[in-house]
Structure formats: structure tokens, C-alpha cells
Structure 1
Amino acid sequence: MSTVRAFASSTETSSTLDFRLVPGAVGSWATTVVCLHFGWPTAVVVAALGALLVVASVVSSPRGRWVNGAVLLAVLVTTTAFGLAVRLRHLDGHELRAVGQRTDSVQVRVELTERPTPTAAAPEKGRPAGERAVVRARLRAFRADEHWYSTRGDVLLLVPGSSWQGLLRGQRLETTAAVLPPHGRDPLVAVLAVHQPPENVTPPPLAQRVAENLRAGLRRASSTSLGPEAAGLLPGLVVGDTGGLPATVREDFQDAGLTHLTAVSGANLAIVCGAALVLLRSVRAPPVVAASGAAGALLGFVVLAGGEPSVLRAAVMGGIGLLALLLGRRGQALPSLATSVIVLLMALPRLAVSPGFVLSVAATAALVLLAPGWSGWLRARGVPRGFAEVLAVPAAAQVATGPAVVALSGEFSLVGVLANMATEPMVAPATVLGVLATVTTPWFPWSGEVLTLAAAPALEWILLVARQAGDLPAATVPLPGGLTGAAVFTVAVLVLGLVARFGRFRPWTVVVLVLSLVAVLLGPVPLRRPWPPRDSWGVVACDVGQGDGVVLATSRSGTAVVVDTGPSAALIDECLDRLGVHRVPLLVLTHPHDDHYAGLAGVFAGREVERVGLARERSWADTGVLGRVRSTGARVVRLGEGQRWSWPGLGVRVLAPEGDTGVTPGRRVNDSSVVLRASTRVGRVLLTGDIELRAQRRLLDDEDALRAEVLKVPHHGSRYTSEKFLRTVDPRLALVSVGSDNDYGHPSSTVLDTLRATGALVRRTDRSGTVAVLGTAEEMTVVSSGNPVRRR
């Protein structure tokens, strides 16, 4: 494997440091982020300033010496800003956005640029798969005023997972969609909400058909030869296909800091291309043939694995390394990394704000800049060379990616370095065997089964390490999310690094680390109030994972109204048990998405449920809910705008939806959610289901009805929430019912910032667990279980 290591070194961890292109890469990245955030006018200003700087640098430089680092930086900033100004100006004035404001839905023609990705976790036994998926596409045309208009631009489609599953990159199709404005900094024309199967679908390109056949062959061979967990892991390890990975394994990998193993990265590409070089060099192939063969393997692997940010970064670096090999020059890692950043950001500006790209670049930079020095420091103190490298590489990568990981997840793995050390020797053989199984299975199915079976010991070892590491006490430590958490982590690492740098303080470093470890293992002293609350509560947001489950108290002991059940019968049943609820006069199911109704059986378990309220009864026909409810003896009642219900200590008014007109492409399922305003002992409570922008705009017609002390934030904090809507409600407390590490990106940081700007206290079930509101509207108290569900 020496050639593999040489190839990896040329593209990842070369010890030759050449910083000349680094300022240009940093400048391009910073320019892209600033322009995406502030828009095309800022991009024009930056481009103009950059051009002036170029001219000034050339004029002031000595003759023949004007090509220097400052000029290169100014040229890159100018080029990047100018390109973004053109792109962003085109997006701001795009015709589709104007059409979307005039009509509920529009027909579009698109070309998919990636495969549809489910927005929920993989289905578990007895639970249906997530019904929504997301897919990026290139807009080709749209229909308005009975005519088709050619156009261009990137769009993001929110689609039904079942009918769009199996589509491949490069396929063209037509569909009808509601046009939503894009949020965040992704340069999109629009977000298209689709609620129907695709139409007029063209066949996929030949390369994509071949790649899908290879992926399907690997899945078949794995399922035949391996156990369920290993069969789900191998496709993820080889090509990033995690569709069959059980939820429990996902959680173990996350807690153990091993999630990167199932995200295709430069390591996978280095293994594949390095193996190709080994094979070609072993038969004494000339450098041109060896480099060409490795390049073919590189391109084939990119098509097979898809266009993930980490794959694109590794592919560009690998191409540069192969070019250096072909020219007989030594590949240098830092210039290769900087060049890949510059090229990719100019081609795909969205990568500048992509978590996957940030993590990939940070990890690679750590391998180049930190790992060699740390390994040398360990060797100088008697640590064997091999062990020093195995320890330094994951430690450097974890420290470098730590700020981004903490900002995204709000936690940091304390066992990640040791878990990566333990699994690293098994990753390469499992990957190589998996790749061989992938390319041979379509022609020789028996060979795929043999090769996947040969990978079983390595896979089982990786699973064992993840399971054991994830089960350790305090495997992860919770930290603040967002920029605050990233800053806290960065400052802590810098302080420890400075302390460790000076010899006289090293004993104190050990003391600090030991005391910190003891504090983490013992856990914080519980300072919160006892749970479940002993005082009278008015509303409780049950932690049901990624879903909604809200309980409204009446003044009768043990009696409460329940709004939605979440996806898990066990979780809602446990919450109601702890609250002492044994009678439910009304169970409201806001809309037919399984994260709001799939836990139905848990509400009925051992309780008297009198009525189940639904809107648009016919939209529930395919869910089986109607039959299940009627089999229990409960009545099904239809809810509509203007209805009022009351019990001692609790009154409920239905604000939406209006009449039973059904769900059309322009009226999305989420926007047809039941919206309730409840009068409780803790004040007015607004429960909004999953309504999005269109339904929120309609509700703003009666602003007085929206004002409430407590708001259940729409759609788990989705970015499709109007700032005006939130400011009109003006809540004192905002409850976000959301699952940890969900695939939707909920809750949106923009929504959270808006809520905090209004003065609202924000409580999230993924951080606080079940949340209860006690007291009165004048003296409101919020308590939580402090034990959030770690599942999706």
C-alpha cells in the first residue's frame, strides 16, 4: 500500500508547505460568503474595489515584478465578486419569481443535478418511510400565460419521496409546483414545492445508469452476505449510500465521532485511485498509463459516489496530484487544496456555505498543517512512528473541524479520536473490498457476495467500536450551538494549546484536563425543578423526536386535549403517562404527515379518547387513520375555521383551515394544517401545525386573533416562516418541537434570530427535552425534563 499512501500524501498530507495560494483561496472564500449574504450590489462594490486595487498594485510595482501575491489576491477577489454580481443580479430579477407571486402553481421543466435525498431518517420496522425528499435541479423552462419560456438557474425541489425515488442525475422532467422564495445564502432561483409524481421523464444518461446498476449490485450483494447493520454500512462506506443504515447505527456513529466514514471523502478517493496506481505500477505501466488509469478511476468514482462537496474537493485535488505525477513533479498538498477551493467556489458558489465543504476543507488543512507537527512532537517523546501518525491524524482533524461540528450539532464527541484510531486500520480493506464487489457484481454476482463476505470482519469491528464508544458515559459533551458554540470551542482549544506550549504550565494542563473529564463524567448537579412538574401546568410540548405532540391542560385532573402525536407511539404515551393524563376529550391531528399522526396508538393506550378532530377528512383516506380511530369507538369530527370548543379551564378556537376544498398543487398539505388558538391558565397559546408562508399570509388578515403569549413555532422552525407572522404573534415563549440532528435543517437560525429579536424566550425539544409551561400569563414559568430524545 505504499503507492496508496504516496498518492494520499500528494493530495492530502504533503509535508511541503507552500502558502502562496492560501491568501487567494481565503480571499475568494470570504468574498463569496460576503456577496452571498449581502447580495449583488455589494458584489459590484467589492468587484470595483478589487479592480482599483489591481490597477494600483500594477502601477506601483517595479517593472517586471507586478505579478505578486497582492496582485493575485486582488485579481481573485475581483473575478469572484464580478461573477457573483452577474449571477445574483440574474436571480433577483428572475422571471419565475415574479410568476410565483402571481399564481398558486406553475409548470416547470428541469434537469436534475443530483439524486433525490429523503428529508427524514431511513424507515424503521413498522414505520413508513419519510414522504418528502429534496433534489437540486437546473431550471430549463416554465409555463406562464399558456406559453413556455426558456430560462436558466438552479432550483431546489421539495418532492414526494415515494414517486420521485429512483430518479437519477441528468434526467429531465416536467412538474407542477408552488414557487417559494429561497431562504439562506444558497444562490437559488426559487424553492419549488411539488406534491405530485414527475411527468415526461427522460431516460438517465448512460453513465448514470451504469453507476446506479453498480450501486444496486453492491446493495444486493451486501444484503445477501452480511447482517442488517453491516449490509447498511458497506454501501455507505464505499459510495455514501446510507439508505439502508439503521437509525441505531447512525446514532452510534454520531456519538462516537465516526459519521464521516459514511460520507464519501478524499480518503475514499485516495484509496480507490491509490489502488489503481498500485495495480498499474505492479505491471510496470509507464507514468502516462498509470496516471491515465488513476484518472479514469477518479472520474468513475465521482460519478458513482455523486457530487457531494467532499467528493468534489477531493476530485480536484486528486486531479492536480495526478497531473503532477504525469509531469514528473512532486504534488504539494497546500497549493492543491487552495487551488481546489478557488476553482470550486468560482464554479459552485453555494459550496462556500455548505457544511460538507467546510468540514472537508478544514479536515484536509488539518492533515497538512497540524498532523505532521503533532506526529513529530510525539515521536520526539518516544512514541513509535506508526502510533504517532495514527494518533495525530484524527486528533488534528477533530480539532480543526470542531468549531463547525459544534456550531451545527451543539455537541462534541469526547471519544472521537480514540474511536477513529481503533477503526482506521479496518477502513481501507473494507473500502477496497467494497469497491471490487461494486465493479464485479453486475457480471459475476457470486464474486460480489464473496468479496462483501470477506469485508465482514472489518465491518463488524467498525460497528463494534462505534457501539462501544457511543455507549460510554459522556461520549459527547453538549455545547451551545451556532457561532457561540464555535467560539467557545475555538477559545478553549487555543487556551489549552498556549498553556501546553510553555513547559512550566504543562502540569496545570494535565490538572485542567483531568478535572474537566471528571466533571463531564459525573455530570452537572441538577439545578432544575423536579420533573414531571408538581405545579399546575397549562401547556406541554412533549419531546417526540422530529414531530409535534402538544398537550393542553383542563382544570379537571387527568383530563387534557392533545394536539398531534408525533411519529412514535411509545414517546407520546410516555409523555402523557408522566403528566397523569388518562382522559382525552379531543385529539387534534393537524394534517396527514406521519410526524404528526404516526404515534396515534400511544394516545389511545390505556386512555379514554372521545373525539378525534381532522380537517379535510378525505385527505386522510390513504393513511388508515380513519379506520383505526373508528375501531376504538372514538368519534371523528371535522374541524374548520370558526369552530370553538371549551372545557373547564380551557377554550379552543379553530383559526384554519377554511372550508373543505381539498388539497391542490397550490394548496400544499402543510398549508392545510389545523391552526388553533387556545385560552389556558398560562395565557393564549397559538398552535400552528406545519403552516408555511401562504397560510401564514392568509392568517395575517386577522392579526388580533394571532397574538399569543405562547407560540408553537410553525413547521418545527422551518425557514419558510414569515418574519411578519412571528412579529404579529409577538409571543413571550416560543416552543420549537424538533428532533435532534434532523435532515431538514430545522430549526432555521433566521427564525430563531427573529424570535429572539422580539424578546421571546425560545425552548427547543431537541435541546431541552419535554417543555412545560406553568403558572399564569402574568407569572409564567418554564421547566423542562432536560433529557431530549436522541433520535430522529
Structure 2
Amino acid sequence: MGNRPGVAAERLDVRLVPAAVTSWMVTAAGTVWSVGNALAACGAALIAVSITLRCIAFRWVRVTSLRAIWVGLLAVGVVGAGYGLAIALRADALDRHPITAAFGTTAVVTVTPSESALSLGRNRLMFRATLQRLRDDEVNGRVVVFARVAEFADVMVGQPARFTARITRPTRRDLTVAVLNAVGHPTLGSASAMQRSAHAVRDRFAGIARQVLPADQAAMLPALVLGDTAMVTTQTNRDFRAAGMSHLTAVSGANVTIVCAAVLFSARLLGPRAAVLLAAAALVAFVIVVQPTASVLRAAVMGAIALAGILSARRRQAIPALSATVLVLMATAPHLAVDMGFALSVVATAALVVIAPVWSGRLTARGWHKPLADAVAVAGAAQVVTAPLIAAMSGRVSLVSAVANLAVTAVIAPITILGSAAAVLAIPWPAAAQLLVRFTGPEVWWVLRIARWAASVPAATVPVPKGLPGVVLVGGLTVVVAACWRWRWVRTGLVVVSVLAVACMLAWSLAGLVSPA
């Protein structure tokens, strides 16, 4: 097929993709089923087979296909053996952890929270932490803590807390060593100066939002900018899930890209290297303030790889950068292999790189304006690839997600840029921060309005099986539609159905049958 106007003809560099996928699958399988040693043995067998094929290919040099096969098998074998052995060692250390002897008992523990607490309702909260001490013995490991809000409301990330807890076995295999149910009040230590500063910025930013904006907008702004959902109501969370917009409250690659792009653009007068260094500093500060959770960690590594590519004057390619990110994170943070948020972030980023430009190019070739084509392609690509995973996680699929996300696309960048700048100025220049926060009000209002409207549409979500059956069902339907898309009557039928659905939703809204409030 010839190159059509607007369609990117550049070939993607996917040489690192097999290694990244192998590392992810091996780490996930070794985490869930404790089969790391077996996977490492399979990797060693692949290495032996590839070496044998190499010897054969060396004798018959013209067999280029055989050489390609042995190179691929060797790469997969090395990665599989290495990551299989690594996750096997981690799983063995987990099984032999000293805290396993304390399951079912109550003991004094010391932990350092690694993420902000999440409200569970009924005066309960939950947070992830790093175990520091069990009684008086120094230990380490990832734990999940459940506690009462009245007793642990003041605990912040990076601040050691010593308390009595009932220790139980974790219900999920995600490299967590124990679940701690806190009893009584904690004795709090002192967080690092960096963590205290980050906490002060977050608190001050949230306080300014409450002073300037209405209650619902003040609760949502920190969530959209910093991923801080502490003040977001249960009803708003429900609306965002039904509308397929809950990813907006989890800091991802989009936030990092927007912040770094804004810094790079504003620092152009200083030269490319100085601009990149400023963007790197902004990236580090942004990650510290929002906290290195799963999606933030992935986005930060992705941004660091891209910035390194700019600094070294090499051509940036998103797929190799994303693959390298997966390889690095599977080695340094293997628990992300079974984290659904991480999976959503990676597949969405891949879709925006691989699928969205092609769709945008085809729409542009058909006469669409470029900004509109880009917006539609981005919303559609993200919806298509994340729908199976969301179905597995929630047991429901949003039918209005693409429309809702398209409707708010234009306001996310201003919210992120203005909100990030306000967070930076919240302590040194509160008046300027208040002005910037005030400018985010209309955009945040629009996001909330769209979420409420989309959630109130009849049949906004439909139930599907949870887990693997949901992935197979939704993913299978997606593949069938993609395979049939070549036929004009299928495209025409889907377009007609989509237009009728949008028309019905608008009619219901205008008639008052769907209340957006």
C-alpha cells in the first residue's frame, strides 16, 4: 500500500519489545505461581538451543533466516533466564521472611509509608508501606496497613510510624510480605526534609484550592494535577469510573510529558542542553511531590530516557524507550508486573505511539482537521487497548468512555500546567498560586460536568465477566471488529450506530431525561 498523505510511514523500532514482554511475563508468572526457577531453566534451554542454531548458521552462512531465529531465541533465553532467576530469589526470600512466623499474632512493628493513605469509608484507611522493624529486629519488605482514620490521619509518606498490629498473611501474591491491622495510636518519627517539603507543598496546594475554588473543584484539582484523591468524594469516584475517566486522577506519562514539554518550551532561550537539564529537574521535583507510585514511576523512567536521548542528540523513539522502561522496572520494582495500573499505563502509552498516529493520519487524509483527528485518534486508541484490562479489573465496560475523554482532552493540558505551576508557587508566592488556581476553575468544572453527565447516561456501563474471561470477551470483540473494519459496510454500520448513540445521549440530556448534575 502506498503512502497516503498524513499517514506516518516511519517504521517503528521494535527490537526491544520481545525482551520487554519476556521480562514482564516471566516476572509476573514467577510472582503469582512461584515458578521462577522453572522459567529460568526454560531460558537456559533456549540459550542452548540458540547456540546450537548459531553453530549451524555459522557453517551455512547464507541461511539468514536461521541466523535471525537464533538471535531472537538467544535474546529471549537470556532475558528469561535472568529475570526468572531474579524473581525466584525474591520469591524464596519472601517465603523465608521472618514475619511469616508472626502470622496470626499481634506485635509491635515500625513501618515507613510509601504512598498516601486511601480512604476506605467507615473511618478506615489503607496505605502501602515499607517494613522497618518487627518488634526490635530490623527487617524489610512491602506491607499493606489498615488503620483507623482518627489514629493515622497525620501519618505522611516517608514518616516512620511505630504501632501495635495484628499480622496476617497477604491475600494477593504481589511480593507483599504481610498485611498489618493497626491497633491503637502510632508513635510517629520524623520524615526526611525532602518528604516534609513535598508534603508541605501538597498540603499548601490543597489549602489554596479550597480557598479559591468551590468544594467539588477544590477536591478534584489536586487529584488531576498531583494524583491526590484524598478529598475526592465517593460519588465523584463512581462518576469517573462509570465515565471511563478514572485514569485522569492517576498521574501518568501524559502528565509528565505535559510538564516537561512546558518547561522545555519556556526554556528554549537558554539552549537545548540547559532546557533539557531544567526539564530533568522539573521531572525529579514533580515525581517527588506526586510520590513515586506505579504509574508515576513508569512515567518518570520513560521521561528520563526521552530526556537522555535529547541530551545525547540521538533520535528519540518511543517504543524502544517504553521497552527499556519495562526492562528497568521489572528488575528494580518487580511487584509492578502484577499491578493493573502499571499495565494500563504501559498499554495506553504503546497505543498512543503505535495506533493513534496511524488513525490520525488516515482521518487527516480524509479531510479531518489535524487537531480534531489527533484528539479522536488518541481517545479511541486508549479506549480500545485498555477496555479488556478494565473489564478484567472492574467487571464492567464503559460505553461512553471515548466520548467523555474526547470531550475533556482540550482542558487537561491547561489544568496540568497551571496546577503544577501553582503547586511550585504555593509556598514562596501564595498570591500567584491563588491566581493560577483560579484560572483552572472553568476547566475543572468542565471535567466534573462531563464525568457526571457521562455517568448518568442510561447504560453508560455494561457488566462483563471479571478476570481472564472478561479480557477474552472484550479483547475478542475488539479483535473481531478490527478484523472486519476493512469492509465498508461494517465501518458504515458502526459509524451509524455511534452517531445514533451520541444523538440519543444529547437528546436525553436536552430533554432533561438525563440529569448532568
When normalised by structure 1's length, the TM-score is: 0.59
Residue 18 in structure 1 maps to residue 6 in structure 2: no
After TM superposition, give the deviation of residue 505 of structure 1 in Å.
4.7
Deviating more after overlay: 446-455 vs 170-179: 170-179
State the SS of the aligned residue for 2:352: helix
> Equivalent pairs: percent with the same residue?
38
Q: Distance in 2 between matches of 1:52 and 1:89?
A: 22
Instruction: Give deviations 1:7-45, integer Å, cap 9, x for gaps.
Output: xxxxxx996511111111111111112111221xx2112
2:258 to 271, 282, 288: 271
After TM superposition, the structure 1 = structure 2 runs for residues 575-724 of structure 1, keeping only pairs within 5 Å, are none
Give the CA RMSD over aligned residues: 2.5
Contact 2:166-2:183 within 8 A present in 1 as well:
no
After TM superposition, give the deviation of residue 174 of structure 1 in Å.
2.1
Q: Distance in 2 between matches of 1:299 and 1:140?
A: 25
Residue 332 in structure 1 maps to residue 317 in structure 2: yes
Residue 45 in structure 1 maps to residue 33 in structure 2: no
State the SS of the aligned residue for 2:103: helix
Residue 31 in structure 1 maps to residue 26 in structure 2: yes
1:72 to 70, 75, 81: 75
1:472 to 457, 461, 468: 457
Q: Distance in 2 between matches of 1:419 and 1:60?
A: 52
State the SS of the aligned residue for 1:159: strand
Residue 352 in structure 1 maps to residue 326 in structure 2: no
State the SS of the aligned residue for 1:68: helix
Residue 317 in structure 1 maps to residue 320 in structure 2: no
Q: Distance in 2 between matches of 1:30 and 1:315?
A: 22
AA aligned to 1:336 is: A
After TM superposition, the structure 1 = structure 2 runs for residues 492-571 of structure 1, keeping only pairs within 5 Å, are 492-503=477-488, 505-507=490-492, 509=494
Instruction: Give deviations 1:729-768, integer Å, cap 9, x for gaps.
Output: xxxxxxxxxxxxxxxxxxxxxxxxxxxxxxxxxxxxxxxx
Residue 57 in structure 1 maps to residue 42 in structure 2: no
Question: Greater strand share, 1 or 2?
Answer: 1
Structure 1 gap ranges (5+): 1-12, 121-129, 522-792
Counterpart of 1:81 in structure 2 is 84
AA aligned to 2:285 is: G
Counterpart of 1:439 in structure 2 is 424
Counterpart of 2:510 in structure 1 is none
Counterpart of 2:433 in structure 1 is 448
After TM superposition, give the deviation of residue 48 of structure 1 in Å.
2.1
Counterpart of 2:64 in structure 1 is none
Contact 2:113-2:128 within 8 A present in 1 as well:
yes
Instruction: Give deviations 1:428-452, integer Å, cap 9, x for gaps.
Output: 1121111111111212221121111
Counterpart of 2:106 in structure 1 is 105
After TM superposition, the structure 1 = structure 2 runs for residues 350-389 of structure 1, keeping only pairs within 5 Å, are 350-389=335-374
Change (3 A) 1:478 1:48: closer
Counterpart of 1:427 in structure 2 is 412
Counterpart of 1:219 in structure 2 is 206
Counterpart of 2:226 in structure 1 is 239
Q: Distance in 1 between matches of 2:195 and 2:88?
A: 33
Change (3 A) 1:332 1:421: same
After TM superposition, give the deviation of residue 60 of structure 1 in Å.
3.6
1:491 to 476, 492, 515: 476
After TM superposition, give the deviation of residue 318 of structure 1 in Å.
0.4
After TM superposition, give the deviation of residue 511 of structure 1 in Å.
7.0
After TM superposition, give the deviation of residue 260 of structure 1 in Å.
1.4
Residue 138 in structure 1 maps to residue 133 in structure 2: no
State the SS of the aligned residue for 1:362: helix
After TM superposition, give the deviation of residue 507 of structure 1 in Å.
4.6
Change (3 A) 1:517 1:68: same
2:186 to 182, 198, 205: 198
Contact 2:23-2:330 within 8 A present in 1 as well:
yes
Q: Distance in 2 between matches of 1:191 and 1:34?
A: 22
2:378 to 393, 417, 431: 393
Contact 1:474-1:520 within 8 A present in 2 as well:
no
Q: Distance in 1 between matches of 2:23 and 2:110?
A: 33
Q: Distance in 1 between matches of 2:113 and 2:141?
A: 12
State the SS of the aligned residue for 1:170: coil
Q: Rg: which structure is higher? A: 1
AA aligned to 1:157 is: V
Residue 188 in structure 1 maps to residue 201 in structure 2: no
Contact 1:222-1:449 within 8 A present in 2 as well:
yes
State the SS of the aligned residue for 2:181: strand
Counterpart of 1:597 in structure 2 is none
Contact 1:14-1:332 within 8 A present in 2 as well:
no
AA aligned to 1:58 is: I
Change (3 A) 1:520 1:131: same
After TM superposition, give the deviation of residue 113 of structure 1 in Å.
2.3
Q: Distance in 2 between matches of 1:469 and 1:367?
A: 23
2:165 to 157, 166, 177: 177
Change (3 A) 1:438 1:392: same
Change (3 A) 1:459 1:184: same
Q: Distance in 1 between matches of 2:214 and 2:85?
A: 53
Structure 2 gap ranges (5+): 1-7, 62-66, 507-517
Residue 306 in structure 1 maps to residue 307 in structure 2: no
Contact 1:271-1:428 within 8 A present in 2 as well:
yes
Contact 2:30-2:87 within 8 A present in 1 as well:
yes
AA aligned to 1:118 is: S
Contact 1:15-1:372 within 8 A present in 2 as well:
no
State the SS of the aligned residue for 1:330: coil
Change (3 A) 1:466 1:369: same
After TM superposition, give the deviation of residue 251 of structure 1 in Å.
2.6
Q: Distance in 1 between matches of 2:9 and 2:86?
A: 32
1:161 to 132, 141, 149: 149
Instruction: Give deviations 1:154-208, integer Å, cap 9, x for gaps.
Output: 2222222222223233222322211111122211221121122222x22111111
After TM superposition, give the deviation of residue 263 of structure 1 in Å.
1.3
AA aligned to 1:220 is: G
Q: Distance in 2 between matches of 1:249 and 1:508?
A: 34
Residue 411 in structure 1 maps to residue 401 in structure 2: no
After TM superposition, the structure 1 = structure 2 runs for residues 739-754 of structure 1, keeping only pairs within 5 Å, are none
Contact 2:118-2:230 within 8 A present in 1 as well:
no
Contact 1:142-1:150 within 8 A present in 2 as well:
yes
Contact 1:500-1:509 within 8 A present in 2 as well:
no
AA aligned to 1:116 is: A
After TM superposition, give the deviation of residue 502 of structure 1 in Å.
2.7
Contact 1:50-1:77 within 8 A present in 2 as well:
yes
After TM superposition, give the deviation of residue 287 of structure 1 in Å.
2.6
Counterpart of 1:675 in structure 2 is none
Change (3 A) 1:210 1:99: same
Contact 2:32-2:174 within 8 A present in 1 as well:
no
Instruction: Give deviations 1:471-516, integer Å, cap 9, x for gaps.
Output: 2222222323322222221121112222222336545555777899
Paired residue total? 489
Counterpart of 1:93 in structure 2 is 96
After TM superposition, give the deviation of residue 133 of structure 1 in Å.
1.9
After TM superposition, give the deviation of residue 132 of structure 1 in Å.
2.1
AA aligned to 2:484 is: V
Change (3 A) 1:49 1:438: same
Q: Distance in 2 between matches of 1:432 and 1:375?
A: 25
